[in-house]
């Protein structure tokens, strides 16, 4: 079961056959902070590219900046996917009935990444 408390999402799991429930944050705060930091760096790179376009910098320089941003986005994608696999998918695969949902999500991610 997923519970939303404020802006945080938690998974509530039943431990073994006992009806003991614990609350596990679905996104480790350190990983969340790292992802936010990376996204802000990418935003800064994009702002720099916009300024360079406005200044009419030389096209190969603009393309170099654009390609750098794309590499940064791919790196962020890999980081987010790794977090998803280590947290959400891991929990879904352990819970009966949730494994198919995890597989469908991964297939959708794969399809999106190849468009």
**Residue 23 pLDDT grade (very low, low, confident, very high; cuts 50, 70, 90):** very low
In terms of residue numbers, what domain contains 87?
28-113
Integer CA distances (angstroms), 49 to 3, 39, 41, 74, 86, in order: 40, 15, 12, 17, 34
Predicted local distance difference test score (pLDDT) of residue 65: 96
93 occurs within a structural domain: yes
1 is a domain residue: no
**CA-CA distance, 106 to 55, in Å (whole number)?**
42
The predicted structure's pLDDT at residue 16: 40
* Length of the chain as a residue count: 115
Q: What is the CATH number of the domain that holds 107?
A: 1.20.58.1000
Q: Which of 32, 31, 28, 34 is nearest to 10 (CA)?
A: 28
Q: Which residue has the tokens 């679905």?
A: 26
92 part of a folded domain: yes
Q: Which residue has 């916009």 as its token pair?
A: 50
Question: What is this structure's pTM?
Answer: 0.68
What 3-state class would DSSP assign to 58? coil
């Amino acid at each position: 079961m997923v519970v939303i408390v404020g802006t945080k999402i938690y998974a509530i799991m039943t431990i073994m056959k006992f009806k003991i429930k614990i609350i596990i944050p679905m996104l480790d705060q350190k990983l969340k902070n790292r992802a936010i930091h990376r996204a802000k760096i990418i935003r800064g790179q994009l702002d720099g590219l916009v300024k360079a376009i406005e200044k009419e910098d030389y096209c190969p320089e603009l393309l170099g900046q654009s390609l750098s941003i794309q590499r940064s986005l791919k790196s962020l994608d890999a980081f987010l996917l790794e977090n998803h696999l280590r947290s959400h998918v891991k929990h879904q695969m352990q819970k009966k009935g949730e494994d198919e949902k995890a597989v469908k999500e991964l297939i959708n991610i794969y399809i999106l990444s190849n468009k």
